Amino acid sequence: MWIMSEPTELYDEEDAFESAGLRLSVDLSALADNWRDMARRSGRARASAVVKADAYGMGIEDAGEALYLAGARDFFVATADEGATLRLFAPDARIFVLAGIWPGLERRFFDNDLVPVVSSEEQLAFWMGTLSNYGDYPCALHVDTGFNRLGLDTADALLLASDVSRPASFSPVLVMSHLACGDDPSSAMNRQQLESFQEVSAAFEGIESSLAASAGIFLGPEYHFDLTRPGIAVYGAEAVKGMPNLMRPVATAEARVVQVRTVRAGGTVSYGGTLCLDRDSRLAIVSAGYADGYLRSLSGAGVPLRQAVTEGACGFIAGHKVPVAGRITMDLTIFDVTDVPEGLVRAGDYVELFGNNILVDDAARAAGTIGYEMLTSVGLRHERRYVETEE
């Protein structure tokens, strides 16, 4: 009869990271430096920090605390649950909830001192009713200036601003909008939205205004108003098309090599046999797949995207870039390491999926997507380690 023995010792966090099949290193110094850089670029405006989607996949607890210690005192989250978590690490910050408030969430907001962003006539009506029961409480007002996503129509916002019958308890502390084409400085839509928002901002005289997220900050002082909302740039990814990325990389994702195998010329690789090798090859199979956010569209062959973008993604190991071979699967990806000197890649080693050597935006382009999706798709199976390094 087989009897399970008692565990002799629990792994500490460092042991867990060193033995993990998937791991994510988050450089909190780079994160803080990037935020300070965006704060400087915001000029006279105050810079907030956007930490929605679990701080773009980096972990809202550690990233939020690092940004708070760097000086951020205004934060934007997507949901009330994110705001409640962040409150533990940013005790006296203003935390805006972009999804706004809905019936049943009142205590969540009030108990954690969260500021709802009111974005529709329905939310506005509910919020007015809530104030009649609970008394004065701050909110933010989101106005749509052409994006056609969330926000009150500009005309309705202007009517609200001039409505002398609105309750005195309705006291927005911020009026905000969002640019649709901020990442394209040549787009005429930026100027159109700016002029529309300037009209709204003037109508809500004495209330702070916010228009620019990361890309908008680079458009210049006219777009900064009172509060900027840097997000993607803080996490080290590109914010503006065609502009060199001056931010420090924050995240490094790695996957362990499970096996190295040799395959003769003419052998096929992965599902569908879509890659036929034209030389004797060495292949490294690593423990990352699309279930971990390493998107199937990154595959080296056998996916529709390869008809438009010839090359798939690359990893980095032993000082060499190595291409993805064949289709990425749910839990495993195959890299061609034939051009890495033999003996330098062994089972147990780690391939960088993105980081300092494979920039997250380059990986995203190979997948036909953007850095935002690559970062926020990082799966729960990544063991995280938070480090502080100097540039």
370 and 265, same domain (yes or no): yes
Tens digits of per-residue pLDDT, 14-32?
688 999 999 999 999 999 9
Residue 1 has a pLDDT of 45
* Paired tokens of 45: 């405006």
pLDDT, position 62: 97
Catalytic residue among 52, 56, 290, 350: 52
pLDDT tens digits along 369-386: 999 999 999 988 999 999
> What is the model's pTM?
0.93
pLDDT tens for each residue of 1-15 = 444 445 445 456 668
Query: Are 77 and 140 within one domain?
Result: yes
State how many domains the chain has: 2
Considering the domain boundaries, does residue 304 fall inside one?
A: yes
Q: Kindly state whether residue 160 falls inside one of the protein's structural domains.
A: yes
Q: Are residues 71 and 130 in the same domain?
A: yes
- Per-residue pLDDT at 153 exceeds 60: yes
| DSSP 8-state assignment for residue 88 | T
Structure confidence by residue, pLDDT tens digits, 184-209? 999 999 999 999 999 999 999 999 99
**Do 168 and 305 lie in a common domain?**
no
Percentage of the chain modeled with pLDDT above 90: 87
Residue 350 banded pLDDT, cuts 50, 70, 90: very high
23 is written with which tokens?
Answer: 């791991």
- Residues sharing a CB contact under 8 Å with residue 123, sequence separation 6 or more, in sequence order: 100, 101, 102, 116
Predicted local confidence at residue 255, as pLDDT: 98
| CA–CA dist 323, 236 (Å, integer) | 23
As a whole number, the mean pLDDT across the chain is 94
Distance from C-alpha of 371 to C-alpha of 232, rounded to nearest angstrom: 8
On whether both 307 and 201 belong to a single domain, the answer is no
Query: Which string of DSSP letters, residue by residue, matches 290-336?
Result: GGGT--GGG-SSSSGGGGTS----EEEETTEEEEB-S---SS-EEEE
Cβ atoms of 24 and 250 within 8 Å: the answer is no
Instruction: Give CA–CA dist 351/354, Å, rounded.
Output: 9
- 52 labelled catalytic: yes
- Please identify which of the residues 11, 134, 241, 271 carries the catalytic annotation: 271
Section 147-164 average pLDDT: 94
Determine the pLDDT at residue 2: 47
Q: Residue 163: which CATH number?
A: 3.20.20.10
